[in-house]
């Protein structure tokens, strides 16, 4: 039997993509470090690559990257990191390195030890709230297939007419009635199953029993999915409380506790509380559903924007799931319009990545282009997760780009009153959509909008990366030249070339100020020519660097001699930089139009200085021109 140095478990609520993407990421990270790993997956097809007791016993450590219950207690006694499935996808190298080399990773003690809990005996990504989210998603993952099956069967019954299941209607069809009835039973199980499996994640088998009973009360009394969620946590923690209260009963009576005491007392206590909570919960549920239905008609634009932003904000995370869960709840009540917008907003991002690589192939690597093309297929089947690597590439810009496309797709869908009766499947369920051509068209329009934005962002990022690479390599290539003076900035920097507390409103004002400054210092004979060169260089790629520093430069025949200008601004201004920070320090180079490499030498010397954190701190800390001059003249790379 193979002995694995690391074992892991991955799982996401839908169990379709995140689960296996996290598995692959962890396996690749382990391969890089030359260690063996086995990853147990918890997908919709069930648990695969199941970890045996022997494999658990022989493993060095455990990585849990899951947003659903994976039976963590079996890893008691092992060093364990417990994070969300998205962490497993985005930070696999860090997780593998920590479980192998970080002695501060705690040993999991198991929930059976009163001195420890799952939160304080294993390293978790977000503590208490992440644990609650895992419990909730355990219920969602078990509920989802029922909603899909029920929704599709009910939708199929409509092929014979909207009233085909009603014996009193002229459209009545016996087979359609059978489809509608079976689908209705499946949909009606949504609340009890949601409640039961939330409780099961908290209280294990006893929680499942109590959760089903509590969920039936929640369903019968019309509390909707909100009642199912509340009931699940109520049932689960009722069982946990009973386990604490009866902890001192002899172990020989464990069977009595599990078969008699916990079910009877748990069902009564949890059921009674839910019974009396049903009235306010029903009111809240009906009020929320009425509000959302009203928005479909009165404010489709606002609703589409909100749903689009939610679905594209974290792509399978808590915010996305909130919109998705609301859509499935409305499906159960026969509202197929809300889910149409949610589905459109979820399908658009992966399609957008495919369009992005088509629009700007040069801005993406061959691997990214391949992933973008594959996302055409994934997106068409409602699998959003393929867009995550593209979002992670530049989240501050790419996520809003995805939101724009999702919002467009959702808004157009709501404005056209498109209905989708299934909560998953993407274009596979097109035969069930009332306006399939329009729905696909709106999704493509949103995807193209996002794709164009992504392509523009990627193109600009590529230029910035090329500039950074060019600057970084100068220090490697130029030191071989024999001239010593090239590392000395004294020739081009004087006290008169330094100004502090300069007030400008934006980048364009700053460049104009620099051109005027150069003319005043008699560095150039033509202010406009220098300003044009500043703008030309900026259009080729931003000269914003990082840590609030920008290095604009101009090369022109009107420049009399090489010069260096330094400005400290009174207020930072917006500038496109590597770390997205505003700029407050300007280092500008003015070079005659000549065929030598002096400007590269000066740029190299400056870039070397800026590689030292202590130099930057001293530069940022002073507004005294004399101190700034001394700093540049006495510091040598």
Residue partners of 259: CB distance under 8 A and separation at least 6: none
Q: Is pLDDT above 70 for 121?
A: no
Q: Which residue has the higher pLDDT, 251 or 595?
A: 251
Rg (CA), the chain: 31
Q: Let me know if 346 is a catalytic residue.
A: no
Q: Is the pLDDT of residue 437 over 90?
A: yes
**All structural domains of the chain:** 6-125 (3.40.50.2300), 299-480 (no CATH), 485-634 (3.40.930.10)
221: Cβ–Cβ under 8 A, 6 or more apart, which residues? 227, 274, 275, 278, 279, 281, 282
What percent of the chain clears pLDDT 70, i.e. is strictly above it? 85
Give the mean pLDDT of 402-428. 87
Q: For residues 454 and 351, give the distance between their C-alpha atoms in angstroms, rounded to a whole number.
A: 12
Q: Are 205 and 268 in contact (CB under 8 A)?
A: no
Q: Report which listed range, 79-88, 131-140, 345-354, 598-607, is most confident.
A: 345-354
CB 261 within 8 Å of CB 244: no
Reported as a single tens digit per residue, the pLDDT across 192-227 is: 999 999 999 898 888 999 999 999 999 899 887 788
Distance, in Å, from the CA atom of 224 to the CA atom of 283, rounded to the nearest integer, reads 10
Q: Does position 484 have pLDDT exceeding 50, yes or no? A: no
Residue 52 is classified by DSSP as P
Token couple for 3: 């002995």
Phi, psi at 500, each rounded to 5°:
-120, 165
Instruction: Tell me the mean pLDDT in the region 529-533.
Output: 89
Q: Which two tokens stand for residue 548?
A: 């609030």
544: three-class secondary structure by DSSP: strand
Average pLDDT over residues 357-384: 83
Length of the chain: 637
| Sign of the CA dihedral running 526, 528, 530, 533 | negative
- Per the structure block, which two tokens stand in for 88? 């497993």
536-562 pLDDT, tens digit per residue, is 888 777 777 778 888 888 888 888 888
Q: For 312-327, give the DSSP string.
A: HHHSSSHHHHHHHHHH
Options 12, 195, 311, 346, the catalytic residue: 12
Residue 315 — φ and ψ, nearest 5°?
45, 70
Task: Give the single-character DSSP code of 587.
Answer: E
Q: What is the pLDDT of residues 31-60, one digit of tens each?
A: 888 889 999 988 766 788 889 888 898 888
- What are the CA-CA distances from residue 513 to residues 241, 507, 548, 566 (Å)? 70, 10, 18, 12
In this prediction the pTM is 0.55
Mean pLDDT of 573-577: 83
Q: Is the pLDDT of residue 102 over 60?
A: yes
């Amino acid at each position: 039997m193979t002995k694995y140095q690391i074992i892991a478990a991955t799982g996401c609520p839908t169990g379709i993509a995140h689960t296996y993407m996290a598995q692959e990421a962890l396996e690749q990270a382990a391969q890089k470090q030359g260690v063996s790993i086995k990853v147990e997956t918890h997908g919709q097809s069930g648990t695969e690559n199941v970890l045996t007791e022997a494999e658990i016993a022989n493993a060095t450590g455990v990585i849990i990257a899951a947003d659903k219950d994976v039976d963590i207690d079996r890893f008691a006694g092992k060093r364990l990191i417990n994070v969300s499935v998205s962490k497993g996808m985005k930070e696999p190298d860090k997780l593998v390195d920590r479980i192998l080399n970080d002695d501060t990773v705690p040993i999991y003690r198991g929930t059976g030890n009163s001195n420890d809990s799952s939160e304080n005996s294993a390293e978790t990504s977000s503590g208490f709230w992440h644990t609650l989210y895992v419990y909730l998603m355990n219920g969602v993952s078990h509920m989802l297939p029922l909603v899909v099956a029920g929704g599709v069967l009910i939708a199929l019954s409509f092929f014979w007419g909207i009233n085909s299941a009603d014996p009193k209607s002229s459209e009545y069809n016996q087979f359609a009635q059978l489809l509608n009835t079976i689908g209705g039973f499946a949909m009606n199980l949504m609340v009890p199953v949601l409640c039961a499996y939330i409780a099961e994640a908290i209280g294990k088998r006893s929680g499942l029993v109590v959760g089903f009973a509590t969920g039936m009360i929640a369903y019968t009394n019309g509390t909707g999915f909100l009642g199912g969620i509340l009931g699940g946590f109520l049932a689960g923690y009722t069982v946990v409380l009973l386990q604490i209260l009866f902890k001192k009963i002899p172990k020989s009576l464990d069977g009595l506790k599990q078969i008699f005491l916990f079910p009877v007392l748990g069902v009564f206590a949890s059921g009674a509380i839910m019974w009396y909570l049903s009235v306010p919960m029903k009111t809240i549920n009906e009020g929320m559903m009425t509000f959302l239905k009203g928005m479909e008609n009165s404010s489709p634009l606002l609703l589409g924007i909100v749903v689009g932003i939610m679905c594209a904000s974290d792509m399978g995370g808590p915010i996305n799931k909130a919109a998705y869960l609301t859509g499935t709840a409305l499906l159960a009540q026969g509202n197929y319009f809300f889910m149409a917008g949610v589905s459109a907003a979820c399908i658009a991002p992966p399609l957008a990545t495919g369009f992005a690589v088509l629009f700007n192939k040069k801005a993406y690597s061959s691997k990214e282009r391949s992933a973008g093309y594959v996302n055409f297929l994934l997106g068409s089947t409602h699998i959003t997760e393929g867009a995550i690597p593209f979002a992670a590439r530049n989240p501050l810009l790419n996520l809003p780009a995805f939101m724009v496309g999702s919002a467009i797709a959702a808004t157009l869908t709501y404005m056209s009153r498109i209905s989708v009766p299934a909560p998953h499947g993407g274009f596979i369920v097109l035969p069930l959509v009332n306006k399939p051509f329009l729905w696909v068209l709106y999704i493509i329009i949103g995807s193209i909008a996002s794709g164009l934005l992504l392509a523009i962002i990627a193109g600009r990022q590529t230029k910035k990366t090329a500039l950074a690479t060019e600057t970084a390599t100068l220090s490697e290539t130029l030191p071989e030249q024999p001239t010593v003076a090239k590392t000395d900035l004294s020739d081009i920097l004087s006290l008169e070339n330094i100004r502090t507390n300069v007030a400008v409103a934006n980048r364009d004002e700053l460049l104009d100020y620099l051109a005027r400054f150069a003319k005043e210092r008699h560095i150039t004979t033509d202010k406009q020519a220098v300003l044009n060169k500043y703008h030309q260089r900026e259009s080729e790629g931003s000269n914003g660097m990082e840590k609030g520093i920008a290095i604009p430069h101009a090369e022109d025949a009107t420049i009399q001699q090489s010069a260096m200008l330094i400005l400290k601004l009174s207020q930072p201004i917006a500038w496109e930089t590597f770390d997205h920070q505003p700029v407050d320090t300007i280092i500008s180079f003015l070079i005659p139009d000549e065929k030598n490499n002096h400007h590269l030498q000066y740029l190299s010397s400056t870039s070397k200085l800026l590689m030292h954190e202590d130099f930057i701190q001293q530069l940022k800390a002073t507004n005294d021109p004399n101190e700034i001059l001394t700093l540049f003249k006495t510091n040598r790379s």
